[in-house]
Amino acid sequence: MDVVVNAATSVDGKLSTRCREQLRISGPEDFDRVDRLRAAADAIAVGVGTVLADDPNLGVKEEQRRVTRLQNGRPAHPARVVVDSRARTPPDAELFDGDASVYVLTGTDAPEERLEGLRQVGATVLEAGSDDGRVDLPSAFDALSAAGVDRLMVEGGGELIFSLFDDGLVDELSLYVGSFVIGGREAPTLADGKGFTETFPELELVDVKRLDDGVLLTYEIGDTVCR
C-alpha cells in the first residue's frame, strides 16, 4: 500500500494555532490540488485529534472527479479512515454523511458501547492495539490493504504524521507552506509526538512549485539516517 501524506503549514511549520481549530492555510489552487490527490486515493486517513478539532468531511469536492471515479468502477468518494484507539470519534461526525465507507482503527481497550455506536452509523471497526494502548499502525495498515486500499492519503494531524514517520510507513509527502507565521509552542506542528533524537527520516526533495501565495514541496521518503 502506498502512503501519501499531505498537509499545509505556516512558514514556522504549524498546522494550526494554539487553539487547535481548523485554519485555512491553503489557497484555492492548493485546495484544488488536494482534491485531485483525494480523487486518486482509495482512502483518506486522519487521526481522531483532527476529527475532534476540524470535523472534516474528506470527500472529493469536484463533481467531475467523482463522475470519473464512478466511470472507472470506483466509489464516488474514497473511504474515510480514523486512527482512534479509544473510539472517541463522534457518531454524528461529518465523516458519516453516508457518501463513503468509514473505517475506524482502534486499540484493544476501546469501550464496547462506543464501538457499537460507531457500527450503528455504518463504521467498520478494525482493531489493532499496540502495547502503549494506541493503534498499531503497521498492522492496522495491513488490514486496510487487505480490505483493498492500495493508495492511502493521510491528511494529518501532527501526532499521526509523526507516528507514521516513526514506523517508516510514509512513501511520499506533499507539503504546502503558506506565507505567514502562526507561532506558539502549543500550536500543532507537522510532526509532533515525542520527536526524533538520533536518527531522522531522510526525505528526497523531488519538486518545488509556487502555488497561491506559498510553495508546494514534494518529497519521497528514503531510509532513516543519522545526522
Ligand X SMILES: NC(=O)C1=CN([C@@H]2O[C@H](COP(=O)(O)OP(=O)(O)OC[C@H]3O[C@@H](n4cnc5c(N)ncnc54)[C@H](OP(=O)(O)O)[C@@H]3O)[C@@H](O)[C@H]2O)C=CC1
Ligand Y SMILES: Nc1nc(O)c(N)c(N[C@@H]2O[C@H](COP(=O)(O)O)[C@@H](O)[C@H]2O)n1
69 binds, among ligand Y, ligand X, none (CB under 5 to 8 A by kind): none
Nearer to ligand X, 75 or 193 (CB): 193
Q: Which is nearer to ligand Y, 127 or 155 (CB)?
A: 155
Residues contacting residue 71 through CB under 8 Å, at least 6 positions apart: none
Least spacing, CB of residue 160 vs ligand X, in Å: 4
- Residues 6 or more apart whose CB falls under 8 angstroms from that of 63 comprise none
Q: Helix (H, G, I), strand (E, B), or coil: what is residue 49?
A: helix
* Rounded CA separation 54/152 (Å): 20
> Which of the choices ligand X, ligand Y, none does residue 83 contact, using the CB cut-off of 5 to 8 A by kind?
ligand X
CB of 192 or CB of 202, closer to ligand X: 192
When asked if residue 83 is in the footprint of ligand X (CB under 6 A), the reply is yes
Among 5, 53, 153, 173, interactor with ligand X by CB under 6 A: 53
Q: How far apart are CA 143 and CA 152, in angstroms?
A: 12
Choose, by CB under 6 A, the member of 4, 30, 39, 54 that binds ligand X: 54
How many residues of this chain interact with ligand X, rule: CB under 6 A?
31
Task: List phi, psi (to 5°) of 166.
Answer: -60, -35
Closer to ligand Y at the Cβ: 100 or 129? Answer: 100
Residues whose CB is less than 8 angstroms from the CB of residue 176 and which lie 6 or more positions away in sequence, other chains included: 7, 8, 9, 25, 26, 30, 33, 211, 212, 214, 215, 216, 217
The residue number whose beta carbon is nearest to ligand Y equals 56
Q: How far apart are CA 73 and CA 168, in angstroms?
A: 31
**By CB under 6 A, which span of 120-128, 158-166, 200-208, 211-219 interacts with ligand X?**
158-166
Q: Which residue in 188, 191, 212, 221 binds ligand X (CB under 6 A)?
A: 188
Tell me how far apart the alpha carbons of residues 187 and 205 are, in angstroms, rounded to a whole number: 26
Applying CB under 6 A, the residues found at the interface with ligand Y are 6, 8, 22-26, 34, 46, 50, 54, 56-59, 155-156, 176
